[in-house]
């Protein structure tokens, strides 16, 4: 009975139960002691990618991969152990079949090499990407003693020579080596299409190999490739440099793209995500703020930075987190917005445009002294003048409702829940505004905590905001119309550990782009 294609593609690899370790910034050894450096003896969370010794299908894949590499004895050892596992009859029959073929191949390989030694035949092989032409002086088990050759190799293990190379060399052998299905197995197990024209036998074993090469081996060999890569990724040290991170991420992407339909790959999402996260941490460390943020980042010295958003590229929106319900407490006194007005944030015509009741926040804590300049305009005038058109630039926001803000044309608001501060400085006379007209605004807090706003270079308001010295920038919209923000420029100090939140947000976004939920 042949193993069905659906069963092969639907393989499930039972995962080894291994105590997880943390990321490359602090891993756990087998005794539970934490260290800062990864080594081959330390188990990472992705160590569970390795195929389980208790999974019959996974072990069949392991054996086939070993066989394709030339390690016939290793493959047979895996198959012998697999037969001691609990498995369905169909799978057991497949394991028995492949074990028999491997044993036949091993016997033919040994016979052929002995023939090569006795007759002084030269072997033509490819070792490490280069051609090797040599005679074999003797064979001891699987170890070959080579005659003098241009590669200056003296010994070579048969377990390191892929079967397809041995099978090709058998054309120089005796009749028992040239013909027969066993030689062709060396091609079939490697996925080499030459098996089709070389398999001329009509015996039952030959016909069975022909059917399997056509119907079973494509899925089996795909599974073998996937298991081999999973096993290899399980041993990858925590990436610590940009190139190491890029390599790990590329391998993960290739594995999921090529073999993502296999259940053993689908069910390995958690350990793969752990490796991807570790790689992204290393990449973040390598590229820094400038490489992660879509803004133009300039260092000004003494931990000072300038972030410039011209909003000419849609990617700049990625720097902000959408928090549509944040600071909803302010909306009740800010006028009406129709329930039919869908909250929306978009980059359009060189501006970040907010519509409806929504908010975006930059996940990067900044400290005073702080200065933020920006331009904004009202667009898409609502039919009713009673509808709200409010905009606030928030700064020094803690994400919990404490912030300093510049509302509209320079009005100031400071809230600090922990210190029970709720101060404001408003223009009591109000003032008219025009749609599609650009307004230039600046709000700054000095080192002593004084908050000052200006519009078109003219000072508007001043307020004591010394309780707010650190936090994030936010753009808060409560508008029936749309409000377009242009040329946002932020100058501030980076406090210690400032990039932690940004890093986590960036990593989560990158994981989502990679397809990890």
* Residues 24/187, Cβ–Cβ less than 8 Å: no
**At which residue do the structure tokens 């499930």 appear?**
12
How many whole angstroms from its chain centre is CA 92?
A: 36
Instruction: Give the separation between CA 180 and CA 202, rounded to whole angstroms.
Output: 10
State the pTM of this model.
0.73
**What is the pLDDT at residue 134?**
95
Q: What is the distance between the alpha carbons of residues 87 and 94, in angstroms, rounded to a whole number?
A: 11
Residue closest to 295 by CA, chosen among 322, 316, 314: 316
- In sequence order, what are the beta bridge partners of 444? 371, 452
Give tens-digit pLDDT for 276-290: 999 999 999 999 899
Count Cα neighbours of 407 within 13 Å in the Cβ-side half-sphere: 20
Rounded Cα–Cα distance for residues 24 and 393 (Å): 38
Contact (Cβ atoms closer than 8 angstroms) between residue 40 and residue 292 = no
Rounded CA gap, 500 and 17, in Å? 31
Helix (H, G, I), strand (E, B) or coil at 143: strand
pLDDT for res 431: 64
- Per domain, the residue ranges of the chain are 5-22+53-235, 296-514
Tell how strand 321-322 and strand 344-348 pair up.
Answer: unpaired
Identify the pLDDT of residue 430: 62
Domain boundaries 296-514, corresponding CATH code: 2.60.120.560
Give the residue among 441, 405, 408 at the shortest CA–CA distance from 422: 405
CA distance 221 to 217: 6
What string of DSSP letters covers 62-119? Answer: HHHHHHHHT-HHHHHHHHHHHTTS---HHHHHHHHHHHHHHHHHHHHHHHHHHHHHHH
Give the contacts of 253 (CB within 8 A, at least 6 positions apart): 514
Please provide the DSSP assignment of 280-304 as one string: HHHHHHHHHHHHH-SSEEEEEETTE
Closest by Cα among 276, 271, 236, 282 to 45: 271
Query: What integer pLDDT is reported at residue 18 of this predicted model?
Result: 28
- Residue 10: per-residue pLDDT: 35
CA distance 188 to 184: 6
Cβ–Cβ under 8 Å, residues 297 and 305: yes
Q: Other C-beta atoms within 10 Å of 211: how many?
A: 12
> Which residues in the chain come in under a pLDDT of 50?
1-41
pLDDT tens track for 26-61 = 333 322 333 334 444 468 999 999 888 899 989 999
**Looking at 398-438, which runs of residues are DSSP E strands?**
403-407, 411-416, 421-425
């Amino acid at each position: 009975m042949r193993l069905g294609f659906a069963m092969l593609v639907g393989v499930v690899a039972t995962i080894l139960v291994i105590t997880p370790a943390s990321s490359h910034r602090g891993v756990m050894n087998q005794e539970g002691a934490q260290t800062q450096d990864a080594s081959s003896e330390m188990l990472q969370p992705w160590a569970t990618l390795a195929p389980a010794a208790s999974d019959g299908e996974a072990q069949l894949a392991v054996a086939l991969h070993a066989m394709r590499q030339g390690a016939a004895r290793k493959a047979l050892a895996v198959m012998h152990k697999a037969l001691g596992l609990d498995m369905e009859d169909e799978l057991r029959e497949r394991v028995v079949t492949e074990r028999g073929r491997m044993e036949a191949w091993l016997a033919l390989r040994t016979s052929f090499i002995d023939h090569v030694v006795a007759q002084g035949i030269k072997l033509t092989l490819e070792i490490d990407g280069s051609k090797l032409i040599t005679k074999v002086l003797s064979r001891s088990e699987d170890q070959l003693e080579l005659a003098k050759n241009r590669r200056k190799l003296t010994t070579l293990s048969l377990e390191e020579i892929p079967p397809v190379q041995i099978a090709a060399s058998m054309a120089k052998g005796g009749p028992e080596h040239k013909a027969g299905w066993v030689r062709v197995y060396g091609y079939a197990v490697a996925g080499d299409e030459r098996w089709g024209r070389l398999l001329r036998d009509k015996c039952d074993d030959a016909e069975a190999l022909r059917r399997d090469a056509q119907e079973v081996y494509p899925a089996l060999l795909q599974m073998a490739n996937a298991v081999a890569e999973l096993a290899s990724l399980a041993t990858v040290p925590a990436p610590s440099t940009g190139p190491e991170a890029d390599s790990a991420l590329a391998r993960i992407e290739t594995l999921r793209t090529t073999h993502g339909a296999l259940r053993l790959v689908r069910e390995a999402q958690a350990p793969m995500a752990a490796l991807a996260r570790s790689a992204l941490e290393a990449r973040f460390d390598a590229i820094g703020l400038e490489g992660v943020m879509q803004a133009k980042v300039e260092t000004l010295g003494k931990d000072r930075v300038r972030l410039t958003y011209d909003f000419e590229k849609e990617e700049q929106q990625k720097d902000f987190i959408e928090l549509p319900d944040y600071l909803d407490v302010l909306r009740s006194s800010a006028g009406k917005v129709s329930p039919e007005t869908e909250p929306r944030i978009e980059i359009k015509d060189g501006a970040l445009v907010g519509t409806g009741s929504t908010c975006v926040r930059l996940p990067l804590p900044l400290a005073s002294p702080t200065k933020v300049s920006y331009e904004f305009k009202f667009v898409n005038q609502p039919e009713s003048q009673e509808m709200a058109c409010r905009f606030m630039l928030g700064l020094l926001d803690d994400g919990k409702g404490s912030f300093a803000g510049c509302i509209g044309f320079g009005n100031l608001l400071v809230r600090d829940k922990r210190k029970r501060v709720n101060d404001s400085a408003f223009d009591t006379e109000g003032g008219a505004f025009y749609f599609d007209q650009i307004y230039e605004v600046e709000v700054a807090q000095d080192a002593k905590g004084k908050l000052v706003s200006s519009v078109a270079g003219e000072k508007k308001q001043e307020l004591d905001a010394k309780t707010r010295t650190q936090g994030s920038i936010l753009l808060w919209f409560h508008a029936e119309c749309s409000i377009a923000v242009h040329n946002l420029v932020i100058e501030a100090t980076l406090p210690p550990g400032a990039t932690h939140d940004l890093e986590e947000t960036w990593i989560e976004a990158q994981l989502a782009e990679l397809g990890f939920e």
